[in-house]
Amino acid sequence: MQNENKFGAEINFKHYGLVDLKHACDEAELNALEMSEKMMNWDSKQWAVFAYFDYDVNMIEDISDLDIGTDDENIGGRYLLVLTDDEADDAEDAELDSYLEEIIYSEIPEYLRRYFNDEEWKSDNSGCRGENLAHYDGQEREYRVDNEVIYIYRR
C-alpha cells in the first residue's frame, strides 16, 4: 500500500482526509481551512510527528512552526528526535562515541585503554537504535510518509 501525506490519502495506514480534518477541527473549535493550508506545506517529518500525536488537530499549529532537523525538538512538552534512516544511523554512531568518551574511557585507566577495542564495543552495542537514542522509553517508532520512513525517538 502506498502512503501519501496529502488529504484524502493514507497516512501510516490511517485515513485522514478533509472530512476528518473538518470534523476534528469543529470539535476543537479550530478553523479547518487555516489548518489545512498549514498542513499542505508540511514535509515528511512533520507528517510523522502528526501521526506520532495520533493526528491530534490541536498539534497542527505547533507542528507547522517546526523546522525539524536532526536535534531534539520540544513538541507538545515531549522531547523528540525525528530522523530519517541515515540520520538515525549517524545519530546512533554519535551517541555511542559520546558514551565511550564520557562513560567508558573515564572508567578505564589510561595505561589500559590501548587494550580496549572501541570499534568492537561499538559493533556489539549498535543496531539497537531505540535503546541507544530513545532515552525516555527505549522505543523506535517508525512512520511511513511519501515512501519515506521517518523514525521518532522520545528523549
Average pLDDT over residues 85-97: 95
Residue 4 is assigned to a structural domain of this protein: no
pLDDT of residue 18: 58
Residue 120 is assigned to a structural domain of this protein: yes
pLDDT of residue 65: 86
Residue 122 is assigned to a structural domain of this protein: yes
Bridge partners (DSSP) of residue 81 are 153
Helical axes 118-125 vs 85-99, angle rounded to 10°: 130
Structural domain for 119, as ranges:
10-154
Query: Is residue 4 over pLDDT 80?
Result: no
Report pLDDT digits (tens) over 20-51: 666 666 766 666 677 777 788 889 999 999 99
- Residue 128 phi/psi, 5-degree rounding, is -120, 65
For residues 44 and 147, the answer to whether their CB atoms sit within 8 Å is no
| Total of domains in the chain | 1
**pTM for the model:** 0.78
Host H or E run for residue 125: helix 118-125
Residue 5 is assigned to a structural domain of this protein: no
For residues 144 and 78, the answer to whether their CB atoms sit within 8 Å is no
Report pLDDT digits (tens) over 109-120: 989 988 999 999
Query: Is residue 134 over pLDDT 60?
Result: yes
